[in-house]
Amino acid sequence: MHEILHTVFNKQDSYIFIQPKQMYAVVINYEEKSKRIRILGLLFPNLILGIIPFVVSLIFPPLKFLGMIAIPNIMGGVGDFILILHYLHHVPNGAKIYNHKDDGSFWYISE
């Protein structure tokens, strides 16, 4: 579900690669995205499956089971948070980000 939610901000086809032995999954989409859209796409599943349910469980204690479900989802999204910090720190505003399965993500500024 987490990886499927990453695709909400993708206009083109997306591919989900699952590596059970390494215990990770990744969504690859070969379109250029702005820094803002890329960060929103990374943050979206963590908001929907983690942060929002956790906050709801704090506000409404009878729904504490949402918090129990949210914590593993937040922990599972730590790689997304690392990428968000990387993009905020290293990618300049106005740059486009291109994601590639084998070679990672690249950013560039178009003329």
Q: Give the pLDDT confidence score for residue 7 in this predicted structure.
A: 81
Q: What is the pTM of this model?
A: 0.80
Q: Are strands 24-29 and 104-108 parallel, antiparallel or unpaired?
A: unpaired
The 10s digit of each residue's pLDDT in 7-37 is 887 877 877 878 888 877 878 778 888 889 8
Residue 111 has pLDDT above 90, yes or no: no
Is the CB of residue 85 less than 8 Å from the CB of residue 75?
no
Residue 51 has pLDDT above 90, yes or no: yes
**Mean pLDDT value across residues 33-55:** 92
Q: Give the pLDDT confidence score for residue 4 in this predicted structure.
A: 80
The 10s digit of each residue's pLDDT in 74-107 is 998 898 899 899 999 999 988 988 877 666 777 8
Q: Give the pLDDT confidence score for residue 101 in this predicted structure.
A: 64
- Nearest Cα neighbor of 79 from 35, 22, 36, 33 is 22
Q: Give the pLDDT confidence score for residue 88 in this predicted structure.
A: 93
Structure tokens at 43: 């943050």
